[in-house]
Structure 1
Amino acid sequence: MQPTSLYERLGGIYSIATVVDDFIDRIMVDDRLNANPRVNEAHHRVLPPGFKYLVTEMVGEATGGPQRYTGRAMEDSHRDMLITGAEWAAFMDDLHRTLDKFEVPQQERYELLAIVEDLRDAIVTEPAS
């Protein structure tokens, strides 16, 4: 018997899309993130439905679903935002709040958070001092 993929254990694309919808709504208005003028500008330039679509694709693929992420590389889309470690922590706090809201089970939460943490180095670019 094959182990069930994280994608299946999360409930498939409809459940993933529901969680992504809440999460993106949460980060788009987070003052801790929008205090960075480059992030704030991106949050006003990128339309939420398209952003949600791409994140849903990404999570679907990363968790073992049939989706294929069609967006830009994380380095390319975040390089100029100069995202700090503190902003990453706020982003992860928002993710935890969303996972709490939907009562994502501990094992699935752990696996999903590990996937997201693997993106940290591609996203966080502390400004030079």
Structure 2
Amino acid sequence: MQPDQSPSLYDRLGGVYNIAVVVDDLIDRVMADDRLNKNPAVDEAHHRVTPPGFKYFVTEMVCWAAGGPQQYSGRSMGDSHRHLHITEDEWAAFMDDLHQSLTKFHVPAAEGRELVTIVESTKDAIVAASPRSGPPPA
């Protein structure tokens, strides 16, 4: 690292091992969250995808997005989630699960905010667009 460069979020989080611990907890929460599993498509996906595989891809993605050396090798967020028809309420439940995991492992506030910003940047690809009510504006 150059002397004038600040450490990456990946480094400030402690690297892959620390990130993997938080992701492990997060995915366990997500897989068991009744707020998410009430959506039949999400519930089915949670039973089709193995937790270790899911944890691997999420860890890989978080490490990559946080500036680590990993390269994300999974599908795009849209391709992975579009068919699940995830609602705003389900997104809020997922974010609550994320905050619980960050709190459990005492992730420092600044790093937690950066990580939340990264996760929030995927929302448009994950949350289904709300159906319009009524005719389009003239």
TM-score by length of 1: 0.98
2:56 maps to which of 53, 57, 61: 53
- Identity rate, percent: 65
**In structure 2, what is the equivalent of residue 103 of structure 1?**
106
* CA drift at 1:126: 3.9
Is residue 81 of structure 2 the alignment partner of residue 81 of structure 1?
A: no
* Residue of structure 1 aligned with 2:71, choices 54, 68, 78: 68
Following superposition, which runs of at least 4 residues in structure 1 exceed 2 angstroms of deviation? 126-129
The 5 A counterparts of 1:1-129 are: 1=3, 2-126=5-129, 128=131
Distance in 2, Cα, partners of 1:69 & 1:121: 19
> Which amino acid is the alignment partner of residue 5 of structure 1?
S
Deviations 1:80-111 (A, max 9, x none): 10000000000000000000000100100010
Shift of 1:128: 2.8
**Letter of the aligned partner of 2:17 in structure 1?**
Y
Instruction: Summarize deviations over 1:14-51 as a string: whole Å, max 9, x none.
Output: 00001000000000000000000000000000000000
Q: Which sections of structure 1, spanning at least 5 residues, go unmatched?
A: none
Question: In structure 1, what is the Cα distance between the partners aligned to 2:129 and 2:68?
Answer: 33
Partner-residue secondary structure (3-state), 1:128: coil
Tell me, in whole angstroms, the C-alpha distance in 2 between the residues paired with 1:90 and 1:34. 11
**2:102 & 2:7 partners in 1: Cα distance?**
20
- CA shift, 1:127, in A, is 5.2
Whose radius of gyration is greater, 1 or 2? 2
Equivalent residue letter for 2:97:
D
> Structure 2, unaligned stretches of length 5 or more?
133-138
C-alpha contact 1:6 1:64 (8 A) present in aligned 2: yes
